[in-house]
Amino acid sequence: MNLRQVLLSSAQWLLLLDKSQYHKDQSKSFLQMGQVLIIVAPCRSLIVYNPTEQLRSTVVHLVVDSPDAGVIDSKTGRPIAAQISAVWVEPSKASAETFQLSFVAELPPLSLIVYHVIKALAGSAPRARYIVHRHGNPPPVHSEHFQVSRLEGAEVNTPLSLKQKVRLQSGLVRQVQVQFLWYGTRTSGDKSGAYLFLPGGEGPQVSPPWYSTTWKVSLFTDTKKLLELFCFFQRFHNESLLCPAGHAGKSLEVSNTVDIRSEANRELAMRLVSDVASGNRFYTDLNGFQMQQRRTLEKLPLQANFYPMTSASFLQDSSSRLSLLSAQSQAAASLRSGELELVLDRRLQQDDNRGLGQGVTDNKLTASLYHLLLEDRRAGRFSTSPEVGGASVEHLSLLAHLASLSLCHPPITMVDPGEGSLPKLRPFQPLRSSLPCDVHLLNLRTLEDPQVSAEVTSCGHPSQEVALLLHRKGFDCDSTPDPLPTCSWSEDEEVGLLHLTRFLFVSLICCLMAALLALLASALQVDLDRLFSPLRFSSVRRSGFTLLRDHDEPDSAHQAAPLRPMEIGAFRVRLE
């Protein structure tokens, strides 16, 4: 049984109103994933799982077999605003058999929410309208079910530039441009390989795209719009999505699909060019835990200025910050002030004599996903970022943490098989409320009962204890999200901390307060009983990460788990 089957079986058990109807059959699962949803009468059940500990408002996409489809909330029976858009099979052709259905879902933390996908009246579902910008002389764009028009006016003969002006909350306007470029390898001596990056110099930019396809339809409410830009290049296509739902609505989603299997000794990179005066400094994360300052030095060769990026990188000056949040690990560099570039894919023909014994030629169609976030900063008088060895210690902003959480843990969709009568399903919501904004639930799993002999069962017997791992993130106070996030601080923090932490969100001197609280060794208190209701905890014991050693002082008396910023806590929790 693989992890997907475990997820489907668990979701089925949690959703069934009558648990006696649960039948474990690995050959025929009650729920399915990753398939085109064929709409049958009267409806198909769609289950959306939120794997995060935060309430989130997110756009859900699924592929259906009809352009006439609608979504209904199973709990209230009310229709949900949705739209139909095209599935592009070629740069100039949209599929006539499959379509993308999009709607905004409100997902409580760690919940399984049930929706119904129904067959709508012909032509009643809102459809995307497309505007095409063509460069060169490619074939015309055809779509049977969507309105397609060409760009008119003076911009028709202008090559497309992926450049955008962004106005921040303070009124400051910043420019951000996306470029793509090639890196080659040296012509003599050692060359790039699986372990070595030895470029022959900064490569040329990729030529303008053949197509630029944009669509925008006023959806969901009168004030919300879903904007998307498709750019088809010769070897890949770039897709940018802007949707104002939830925290991710403050950021721009950038997706690249790359296929360089026909290239030889070339590496493709994406570069962001902005007017942020970052100088020769930028920041990348270390294993998604903390940020480290990097410096670009001209005296070093080009390859020595590339650094690993696990999930986040940013540039900043005294008035703004440009953050790039990533769903995959890549190499990052800032070769000039205001620029940030990432290596998307590599194809190299030769071995670099470092042990692999072959080149990098097993490329596949490679997708990469990012969120681009531009924020105001109130640095200067109110900044209290300490320095270690001449390098300032910085953190992601609270909004960047929430956006990264949504990016790395996207919602998971499941559908029923659409065969025969369905048992009654009800939504599953295990948490009464979201965790505090800066607390991340790393793991909550059942521990094996040591009292049960291994001879009784080969796969172990579950105990009444669970392992709970929490991570409290450190965040930068120079950027204040507006509006404030829906998540809040715990109501059972130490004396005086509740009012101070609420004040952190709106005060310009929040960093001074945070530093004072750190000196006082104050700690966030998470009330586990109230949070995980209706589950009841009889004891909470701090443990090591191996869960083999208990803390000297059990926390069972007050049921509160102290957790300081930039700390990961492991606890053994016994259920009543």
pLDDT at 530: 63
Q: How far apart, in Å, are the Cα atoms of 242 and each of 79, 121, 215, 236, 486?
A: 23, 28, 11, 20, 20
The DSSP symbol for 10 reads: H
Task: Give φ, ψ of 474 to 5 degrees.
Answer: -90, 140
Give the pLDDT confidence of 162-221 residue by residue, as tens digits.
Answer: 667 777 766 788 888 888 899 999 988 899 999 999 998 887 888 766 566 665 443 443
pLDDT at 518: 36
pTM for this predicted structure:
0.85
Give the pLDDT confidence of 212-269 residue by residue, as tens digits.
Answer: 666 544 344 333 456 677 777 766 666 666 654 456 567 888 888 888 999 999 999 9
Q: Report whether pLDDT(382) > 50.
A: no
Q: Report whether pLDDT(528) > 80.
A: no
Place of tokens 């104050």: 522
- Omega of the bond prior to 562 within 30 degrees of 0, cis? no
Q: Mean pLDDT throughout 344-368?
A: 93
Mean pLDDT across the chain: 79
Give the pLDDT confidence of 558-570 residue by residue, as tens digits.
Answer: 445 577 888 898 8
Q: Report whether pLDDT(377) > 80.
A: yes
Question: Helix 510-519 crosses helix 497-504 at what angle (to 10 degrees)?
Answer: 150
How far, in whole angstroms, is CA 204 from its chain's centroid?
A: 30
Concatenating the DSSP letter of every residue in 208-256 gives PPSEEEEEEEE-SSTT-EEEEEEEE-SSEEEEEEE--SSGGGGSEEEEE
Q: Report whether pLDDT(287) > 50.
A: yes
Q: Mean pLDDT throughout 382-401?
A: 72
Q: Report whether pLDDT(524) > 70.
A: no
Q: Which helix or strand (DSSP H or E) is residue 9 part of?
A: helix 3-15
- Give the separation between CA 344 and CA 28, rounded to whole angstroms: 38
pLDDT at 62: 92
Place of tokens 């009800």: 426
What letter represents residue 35's amino acid? Q
Tell me the CATH number of domain 167-214+249-409, given options 1.20.1250.20, 2.70.98.30, 3.90.1150.10, 1.10.150.80: 2.70.98.30
Task: Copy the structure tokens of residue 190.
Answer: 């050692």
Give the pLDDT confidence of 83-96 residue by residue, as tens digits.
Answer: 898 888 887 888 99
pLDDT above 90 covers what percent of the chain? Answer: 34
Of 43-52, 56-65, 126-135, the poorest mean pLDDT is in: 126-135
pLDDT at 448: 84
Closest of 262, 254, 273, 252 to residue 181, by C-alpha: 273
pLDDT at 211: 61
Which is more confident, 515 or 407? 407
pLDDT at 155: 53
Alpha helices (runs of H) in 380-459, residue ranges in sequence order: 398-408
Q: Report whether pLDDT(553) > 90.
A: no
Sequence spans of domains, the chain: 167-214+249-409, 439-472+490-504+520-575
